[in-house]
Amino acid sequence: MQRTRLSTLVDQVGQRFSQWVFNPWRRISLAVISLLFGNFFATAISATAGQTSEIDILISAILVAMVEFISWLYHRSRSNGQRTILPELLNSFKLGMVYGLFVEAFKLGS
């Protein structure tokens, strides 16, 4: 691949972001934000899918497939020894989403 100004800029932005995320407090703050966004996503999905009551099975199948794919990606990156932020953020998102779905199920059950 040629070294153009755009490819150089993209590489530099990626390196600066990885250096910025290397700080543990920033990494934890991004993980917490991802966890809370997963919780919000679960609430939004359950509210919109619950309104129509027609595509509940399809939505649940998509969510299970997404959770399994994120788990596979996270554990694959951990076994390879790679320490990147994207699988950790996706795993935090997944945990928040599963927690939010459990909370919504408890709210509907009571």
Counting the structural domains of the chain, the total is 1
- Tokens for 25, please give them: 């407090």
The answer to whether residue 92 is domain-embedded is: yes
The answer to whether residue 12 is domain-embedded is: no
For the chain, where are the alpha helices, taking DSSP H only?
5-21, 24-52, 56-79, 85-109
The answer to whether residue 60 is domain-embedded is: yes
pLDDT given at position 110: 60
The answer to whether residue 69 is domain-embedded is: yes
Q: Can you state the angle between helices 5-21 and 24-52, rounded to 10 degrees?
A: 100
The answer to whether residue 74 is domain-embedded is: yes
CA 74 to chain centre: 10
The answer to whether residue 19 is domain-embedded is: no
The answer to whether residue 4 is domain-embedded is: no
pTM of the model: 0.81
The answer to whether residue 11 is domain-embedded is: no
pLDDT given at position 83: 72
Domain of 53, in residue numbers: 24-109
Inter-CA distances, 45 with 29, 48, 53, Å: 24, 5, 12
| Under-50 pLDDT residues of the chain | none
